[in-house]
Amino acid sequence: MSGSRRPRWSRRRFLSTAAAAPAFAALPRTASATQAPPAAGPAVQDPAPEAVQARIAARLHVMRVALGQQPADLTIEGGTLLDTITGELLPGWGVAIAGDRIAAVGDVGRHAGPATQRIDATGQILAPGFVDAHYHCESSRLSARRHAEVTLPQGLTAYFEGTHEIANAARGLPGVEYFVEAGRRLPQKIYPCVSSATPPSPVETTSGHIGYAEAARAFQRWPEAARGIDEVMDLPRVLDGSARLHGVIQAALDDRRVVAGHGSPPLDALDGWIAAGVMSSHSPRIGEALTMLRKGVHLQLKTERTGDLIRQLLDLPLRDWRSVGLAVDDRTAAELLDRGGIDHEVRAAIALGVPAVIAWQMATINNAAHWQVSHLHGVLAPGRYADVLLVSDLQRVAIQRVIASGQVVAERGRLTVPLDAGPVDPSLRHSVRLSRALRASDFEILAPPGRREVRAYVLPPRYFSRELGPITRTLPVRDGRVQRDLSRGITKYAIVERYGRGMGIGVSFWELGFDTGAIAWTVNHDHHNLGVLGATDEDMAVAANRCAEIEGGYVIVSGGTVLAELPLPIAGLMSDDDPTRVADGIRTLDRIAGQLHPAAALAGHPTDQLTFMNLTCDPWKYSLTDLGLFDLERQQRLPAVF
């Protein structure tokens, strides 16, 4: 028999008989069978639903390219492959691509057919595209498409999007859906994590509500995209067993998804926080980070101020940093263009002493494995998304070319293809819904009758800390109204509910400088209500109303005149305008705001910093929301003055 004369196994022989599986229902026993074997029948069919069949067909196509039965669409040859699993640099290893996936790695010459696009990578290193473990596209102020234009050339081919910004501003799941839809169309893969912070806490109003039912529904609707929840940060509600928050956590755990965390709980609450289900933190306090790591928390470092931690990690007995990744978290378009994105984080980690290969692992496989997508991302291997960076210098993260989903999308830092994320859903527009125009009198704080002065809560410039001294001050009263003390830098500010749910306004004092003009803004973590501060109630009203008129964004006013503005009409958070124009707008805002004499604490990027000052999560101790000023530890509302 020929079978016994061909001693070498051959793939082709397997395949030539592909259809030759015999029917196996009623074969006669072979005991006396000397006759020729029966003709082969068709393989037993096992029909799956049509959508499933389509996914199988797509997978089999990649397999067949890998087997050399069909040519690759693209090969990248002649370079050296960075293997993020073994930590090796493998000279001569290339990548063969079928559609949006990697079919084969290694010596891939045989996969090139006459129509195959071939990229010569001589002198280059092939590395997997970056995966950011924790990211808010919204913080760039750019739409998903515009953001991709900036960050794809930086090598960011996938990110885990923390959707609570848009979920709070755009009615919950419809906000999440924005990123699902954009991710489906862009070569940049977006994994929108379901917001655990909608609302962020019970003491503020947002436009959406995500509890157990909504989270479970999201996982069912977007099983591939919504890989988990992001980012559990209302520490008191974790610890007190909040029904809403623990419902969302349970929905994620029940569906075997990842529960991302935030910050560092106090050490005596750390084990409880982990036991509650939290698996990661992208913002651990440095002094506590190693303890968190030891206790199984995946760390996603933002490299700024992590030097001490990195030195600790370098002293660990193994060079096994699997549980340490990198994340950008929040970065404006201006900063992305000036400093870079995750490429900058890798560079910074290397500058802090992390060996280059480990730094690359931190921004690729470590993040991918944590999010349970190492079969799709983080390593150049078959079946993964064809996200390949051609790098001329690993140490400097010098990215010469970016291939995303099998397509060359950028060369030397410049986008080379137009991107399409589909139309922006009109329902994401007009998100600033005030039931009437604001008046100067809306910002008045009345004093008890007959008082010449009052005690008032005055937030210090940077007040997000568990450790805070007394914050009450004496303020003068005029005509029954409590006055600013601009000479001491005490101005007034307000948070105005902007989702058409009653227009609650919280007003308080803030020692933030600004002895002239007013600023209004709708990027206001994490409720994203309308913030407005100002030296006069009149300018506050003008700024706030103009901000509503442009559908959100930033407006700076002085003496009734608009000095600068940046419209962010998508949910009041993002612009679909050209990124360089948006970045210029951000820089202008900062420059003009700087002329209004902000407190020193705001130096640098004053308008961006304003957006992070009204959080209600740990470690904030006080916060003003649309419902008033709160003692967050006690979850009690405080009188503005007394």
Restricting to residues 595-614, which ones interact with a second copy according to CB under 8 A?
Answer: none
What tokens does 154 get? 């930086």
Does position 18 bind a second copy by CB under 8 A?
yes
∠ CA 323-327-329 to the nearest 5 degrees?
A: 140
Measured in whole angstroms, how far is the alpha carbon of residue 251 from the centre of its chain?
20
- Give the closest residue to 191 by CA, choosing from 132, 147, 259, 139: 132
Of positions 116, 117, 250, 416, contacts a second copy by CB under 8 A? 250
Please classify residue 78 by burial: count the beta carbons closer than 10 Å to its beta carbon, then call 0-12 exposed, 13-18 middle and 19+ buried: middle
Of positions 220, 372, 395, 580, contacts a second copy by CB under 8 A? 372
- Cα–Cα distance between 421 and 179 in angstroms, integer? 9
String of contacts with a second copy for each residue 550-579, x by CB under 8 A: ------------------------------
> Looking at residue 142, what DSSP letter applies?
B
Of positions 80, 332, 364, 374, contacts a second copy by CB under 8 A? 374
Nearer residue to a second copy within complex by CB, 516 or 635: 635
What is the footprint of a second copy within residues 302-341 (CB under 8 A)? 316-323
Nearer residue to a second copy within complex by CB, 9 or 479: 9
Of positions 145, 244, 282, 302, contacts a second copy by CB under 8 A? 244
The per-residue DSSP string of 448-507 comes to PTT-SEEEEEEE-SS--SS-----EEEEEEETTEEPPBGGGTEEEEEEE--BSS---EEE
Instruction: Please state the closest distance from residue 13 (CB atom) to a second copy, in A.
Output: 5
- Cα–Cα distance between 215 and 219 in angstroms, integer? 6
Does position 102 bind a second copy by CB under 8 A?
yes
Does position 4 bind a second copy by CB under 8 A?
yes
- Cα–Cα distance between 367 and 322 in angstroms, integer? 8
* DSSP 3-state of 339: helix
Of positions 71, 277, 413, 460, contacts a second copy by CB under 8 A? 277
What is the footprint of a second copy within residues 386-425 (CB under 8 A)? none
- Phi and psi for 436 in degrees, rounded to 5? -155, 165
Measured in whole angstroms, how far is the alpha carbon of residue 133 from the centre of its chain?
7
Candidates 102-110, 410-418, 427-435, 603-611; binding stretch for a second copy (CB under 8 A): 102-110
What is the footprint of a second copy within residues 32-51 (CB under 8 A)? 32-38, 40, 43-48
* DSSP 3-state of 214: helix
Does position 103 bind a second copy by CB under 8 A?
yes
What is the footprint of a second copy within residues 63-82 (CB under 8 A)? 63-68
∠ CA 112-116-118 to the nearest 5 degrees?
A: 80
Nearer residue to a second copy within complex by CB, 85 or 437: 85
What is the footprint of a second copy within residues 437-456 (CB under 8 A)? 442-448, 454
Of positions 94, 175, 236, 406, contacts a second copy by CB under 8 A? 236
Instruction: Please state the closest distance from residue 621 (CB atom) to a second copy, in A.
Output: 7
Candidates 115-123, 511-519, 575-583, 616-624; binding stretch for a second copy (CB under 8 A): 616-624
Q: Are 234 and 201 in contact (CB under 8 A)?
A: yes
What is the sign, positive or negative, of the torsion defined by CA atoms of 345, 348, 350, 354?
negative
Of positions 1, 114, 122, 479, contacts a second copy by CB under 8 A? 1
Residues 6+ apart with CB under 8 A from 58: 99
Nearer residue to a second copy within complex by CB, 561 or 636: 636
Q: Are 408 and 604 in contact (CB under 8 A)?
A: no
Contacts 24+ apart (CB under 8 A), 35-38: none
Instruction: Please state the closest distance from residue 333 (CB atom) to a second copy, in A.
Output: 33
| Cα separations in angstroms, 558 against 328, 461, 604, 610 | 34, 21, 21, 18
Of positions 50, 115, 122, 241, contacts a second copy by CB under 8 A? 241
Q: Are 310 and 291 in contact (CB under 8 A)?
A: no
Candidates 112-120, 130-138, 267-275, 560-568; binding stretch for a second copy (CB under 8 A): 267-275
What tokens does 132 get? 């950011």
Does position 638 bind a second copy by CB under 8 A?
yes
Please classify residue 437 by burial: count the beta carbons closer than 10 Å to its beta carbon, then call 0-12 exposed, 13-18 middle and 19+ buried: exposed
Measured in whole angstroms, how far is the alpha carbon of residue 276 from the centre of its chain?
23
Does position 104 bind a second copy by CB under 8 A?
yes
* DSSP 3-state of 533: strand
What is the footprint of a second copy within residues 112-151 (CB under 8 A)? none
> Looking at residue 329, what DSSP letter applies?
B
Count of chain residues binding a second copy (CB under 8 A): 167
Instruction: Please state the closest distance from residue 524 (CB atom) to a second copy, in A.
Output: 17
What is the footprint of a second copy within residues 193-212 (CB under 8 A)? 199, 202-205, 211-212
What is the footprint of a second copy within residues 485-544 (CB under 8 A)? 502, 504-508
Of positions 147, 262, 384, 525, contacts a second copy by CB under 8 A? 384
Instruction: Please state the closest distance from residue 157 (CB atom) to a second copy, in A.
Output: 16
Of positions 50, 268, 304, 479, contacts a second copy by CB under 8 A? 268
Instruction: Please state the closest distance from residue 370 (CB atom) to a second copy, in A.
Output: 9
Nearer residue to a second copy within complex by CB, 266 or 560: 266
